[in-house]
Amino acid sequence: MMTPPAAAGPRQRRLRPAGPGDRLRPAGPGDRLCSRCALVVFLLAACASSGSGRVVTSLPGFDGPLPFHLETGYVEVDAQNGAALFYYFVQSESGASAPFLLWLTGGDRCSVFSGLAFEIGPVRFVVEPYDGTLPRLQYNQNSWAKVSHILFVDSPVGAGFSFSREPKGYDVGDISSTLQLYDFLIKWFNDHPQFLTNPFYIGGDSYAGKIVPFLAQIISEGRTLPNLKGYLAGNPGTGEIVDFSSRVPYAHGFGIISDQLYETIVTHCQGQDYIDPGNALCAQAMNTFNDLINEVEKAQVLLDKCVYASAVPNVDSKTDASDGRRILGEEVGTGKLNHPPARPPFGCITYGYYLSYFWANDKRTQEALGIKKGTVEEWVRCHDKDLPYTNDLGSAIKYHRNLTSRGYRALVYSGDHDLVVPHLGTQAWVRSLNFSIVDDWRAWHLGGQSAGFTISYSNNMTFATIKGAGHTAPEYEPERCFAMFRRWILNRPL
């Protein structure tokens, strides 16, 4: 999922191109320590890495023992501030030697539980009207864990159940949080050496799609995790203007804006920043454009926009729907912690998010997951800019180019009904890497029907669309996405 593009895009682009910070050495855990702190750190470290997590055999709301192997735990990534990342590790149902996938969720600071329970993990919510009892979970038939191990990590610090003892520990950005993830992985594999030889992949949607290639680059430069094979990114942010400028041809092709407005934008916004235009004619056209696209659900243009009913009496209804930002952070209004989220109408795609709040904040759930008391006052599916975050990575394209030039495999996929990061922009930057085509544009199929379209390049990068899917594709088209993932991860053509 995606930090609001308006905030993420242009700001990042204005930063220095590929600066020195882009190739930071991995932060060693002890880097900034004084000797006086050493004992404390030692104790914390001993605590953080004690054993290798907690095996969870049942989950509140899930009927019976879990039919898959789940482990949860923390890994400390910032000893000075006492910050630790929380993880859910799901072992593959296809055996110990299955590929290993690290999965990240986008922002603003969305919990990776969202990826687990709404996208690719082995459970999903039973969507039924909330009546005050614990929401129920069921097995997900399209779980990607059927073919790979999945390590879901709440990152950056402050997402989901990841926490910092000191407030300063929450002040991270693209670069620092990615280095923390690297640190996390080194420690995690140190505790789980049996998985070091599995083919290792990194994946994520939306804003995580920008972090994924950067993390892969860092891993590829190190020696500790030798088995990186590739990565996948869905409707990924890149930090480039094309993520957002492609909304214009997309909205035009979809019949959301007129020919005339399209022509006006093309004429007057050429070379402009679409988010923060430099001339009045472009600005005016973009205002009209934004009004029009606000009429649709940007994360999946065919769905209803959901008007929120309030969960508690005497609270104004929210009228905004789950657009690119809201879909990520509708539960928390800034400064409104300890409030249940506004209740969407039953049947709305976001109703499951609503249920997740009550499930994750339930004492029984937190006990089962081994959540440390006093670390996270209130779990929220996504934050809403209430914690500091710096978009300091610039463009991710150079990492895509670098990695795929060196033989790492990449799958870049787009839900084709997403207006947040439309497939047109993604297709354009994939093409701009200038590799030759090895498998030309064609349909890929499931159940005798086209399930999307795909093209593959000589750098082992495959681009694929998923017919009918929205911004976080597996959430909207689980069966197609699972088929796509399965074929790709097992080295088969889509």
Ligand X SMILES: *[C@@H]1O[C@H](CO)[C@@H](O)[C@H](O)[C@H]1NC(C)=O
Applying CB under 6 A, the residues found at the interface with ligand X are: 23, 221, 402, 405, 407, 409, 432, 434, 458-460
Catalytic residue among 149, 400, 417, 471: 471
Smallest gap from residue 7 Cβ to ligand X (A): 27
258 in catalytic set? no
Both ends of the chain: CA-CA distance in Å? 24
Q: Which is nearer to ligand X, 88 or 200 (CB)?
A: 200
Cα–Cα distance measured from residue 458 to residue 431, given in angstroms and rounded to the nearest whole number: 11
Whether residue 362 is preceded by a cis peptide bond, meaning omega within 30 degrees of 0, is no
How does strand 83-90 pair with strand 409-415?
A: unpaired
The contacts found for 255-261 with CB under 8 angstroms, 24 or more apart, are 256/292, 256/293, 256/295, 256/296, 256/301, 256/419, 257/289, 257/292, 257/293, 261/285, 261/288, 261/289, 261/292
Smallest gap from residue 439 Cβ to ligand X (A): 12
Per-residue CA distances from 97 to 79, 91, 92, 94, 147 (Å)? 33, 10, 9, 8, 10
Q: Which is nearer to ligand X, 130 or 200 (CB)?
A: 200
Smallest gap from residue 182 Cβ to ligand X (A): 14
Q: Can you state the angle between helices 397-405 and 208-221, rounded to 10 degrees? A: 40
Cα–Cα distance measured from residue 53 to residue 86, given in angstroms and rounded to the nearest whole number: 10
Smallest gap from residue 493 Cβ to ligand X (A): 12
Smallest gap from residue 32 Cβ to ligand X (A): 24
**402, two tokens:** 């670098």
Smallest gap from residue 459 Cβ to ligand X (A): 6
* Per-residue burial over 440-461, b = 16 or more CB atoms within 10 Å of its CB, e = otherwise: eeeebebeeeebbbbbbbebbb
Please name which of 425, 429, 411 lies closest in space to residue 481, comparing C-alpha atoms: 411
Q: Can you state the angle between helices 280-293 and 259-268, rounded to 10 degrees? A: 140
Asked whether 38 and 45 are in contact (CB, 8 A), the reply is no
Q: Which is nearer to ligand X, 12 or 460 (CB)?
A: 460
Q: Which is nearer to ligand X, 23 or 336 (CB)?
A: 23
Catalytic residue among 177, 206, 246, 414: 206
92 in catalytic set? no
Count of all residues that appear for the chain in the document: 494
Q: Which is nearer to ligand X, 298 or 409 (CB)?
A: 409
Q: Which is nearer to ligand X, 287 or 432 (CB)?
A: 432
Smallest gap from residue 79 Cβ to ligand X (A): 27
Contacts of 314 (CB under 8 A, 6+ apart): none
How does strand 54-56 pair with strand 123-125?
A: unpaired
Smallest gap from residue 432 Cβ to ligand X (A): 6
Q: Which is nearer to ligand X, 213 or 237 (CB)?
A: 213
206 in catalytic set? yes
The secondary structure of the chain in percent helix, strand, coil, rounded to multiples of 5, reads: 35, 20, 45
**258, two tokens:** 């007129």
Q: Which is nearer to ligand X, 421 or 489 (CB)?
A: 489
What are the backbone angles phi and psi of residue 407, rounded to the nearest 5°? 95, 0
Q: Which is nearer to ligand X, 216 or 349 (CB)?
A: 216
Catalytic residue among 174, 183, 418, 423: 418
Smallest gap from residue 222 Cβ to ligand X (A): 10
Please name which of 199, 110, 271, 275 lies closest in space to residue 490, comparing C-alpha atoms: 199
Cα–Cα distance measured from residue 321 to residue 261, given in angstroms and rounded to the nearest whole number: 24
**Site of tokens 């069921």:** 138
- By beta carbon distance, the residue nearest ligand X is 407
Q: Which residues are catalytic?
A: 206, 418, 471
